[in-house]
Amino acid sequence: MKNNADAIIFHTAICFEAIANSHYGRREIACANFSSPLRDKSLRNEDNMNFTYESERLFLRVLDKNSAPMVLDFLSKNSDYFEPYEAEKPPNYYTLKYQSVSLRLEYNAFIKNSYARFYVFTKDEPDRIIGTVSFGNMHKFPFFSTSIGYKFSKTVWGNGYAAESIICASSAIFKDGGFHRIEAYVMPDNLSSVKVLENAGFEYEGIAKSSIRICGEYKDHAQYALINPYKE
């Protein structure tokens, strides 16, 4: 049987362990970009480039397979907090090989403008991952929509990093990716994640019944959306 490590399907893990009580309003956060294939097609054939976005306190980076040890450490240390809100994972998920392959596929997908995962770092500790913001289910014409997922280390909850990261990453997706709509799905009892979405400007649209399989059961999810506020 073929090794499943090379057959990773990117899913948007939606809902997550984000923090509440962010004081950052959506338009208070600037997001600067250094280089991005989302905007510049000429960059899509480059290898091992440093794709980085920057907000007031954070760096959002697209990582390559060389960062697998750092990513594995982040995921392993937070598995107890992440897994109750995420889709089931393969048995080899918490291995260096799996994360290395995953990062390679993520990087190549970003180059092709078909998937994006930003790893979040504080400017005070630029070598330690504190969270991720991802965009999957990227649909172009006629929808120009995508789905967002995010998760943050429990050690940084309560600092507003999740909302700040989502605002910065969403700005990149709108301005550089050309998307019109970002959707988010969150378990209704995950109140901290609901608060983050609201702080980032997302609006509630309703309940998606039995929509995502979590821990072996299909769960209802609240649906939120953010429409591109910039001139399209």
What pLDDT sits at residue 36? 56
Q: Residues 140-165: what's their mean pLDDT?
A: 95
Does residue 34 surpass a pLDDT of 50?
A: no
Cα distances from 13 to residues 58, 107, 122, 183, in angstroms, run 22, 18, 22, 12
Say if 39 falls within a structural domain: yes
104 alpha carbon, distance to own chain's centre: 16
User: Which band of pLDDT confidence, cut at 50, 70 and 90, is reported for residue 9?
Assistant: very low
pLDDT surpasses 60 at 18? no
Could you tell me the CATH number of the domain that includes residue 94? 3.40.630.30
82: its two tokens:
């992440």
Structure tokens at 95: 């291995």
Residue 232 falls inside a structural domain: no
**Residue numbers of the domain that contains 217:** 4-227
Structure confidence by residue, pLDDT tens digits, 75-130: 999 999 999 888 889 999 999 999 999 999 999 999 888 999 999 999 999 999 99
Q: What is the pLDDT of residue 54?
A: 94
Could you read off the pLDDT of 50-63 as tens digits, one per residue?
A: 589 999 999 999 99
pLDDT at 26 over 90: no
Strand-by-strand arrangement of the 203-214 sheet:
32-33, 52-54, 58-61, 116-122, 129-139, 145-152, 181-186, 217-227, 203-214
- Give bridge partners of residue 132 from the DSSP assignment: 119, 151
Residue 219 counted as domain residue: yes
In a domain, 222, yes or no: yes
Give 36 or 211, the one with higher predicted confidence.
211
- 29 located within any domain: yes
How many distinct structural domains can be found in the chain?
1
Angle at 64 between CA 163 and CA 202, to 5 degrees: 20
Model confidence, pTM: 0.80
- Residue 214's pLDDT band, with cuts at 50, 70 and 90, is confident
Asked whether residue 170 is assigned to any structural domain, the reply reads yes
Nearest to 173 by CA among 229, 132, 131: 229
pLDDT tens track for 174-197: 998 899 999 999 999 999 999 999
Q: Is the pLDDT confidence value at 43 over 80? A: no
Q: What is the pLDDT of residue 17?
A: 28
pLDDT of residue 217 exceeding 50, the answer is yes
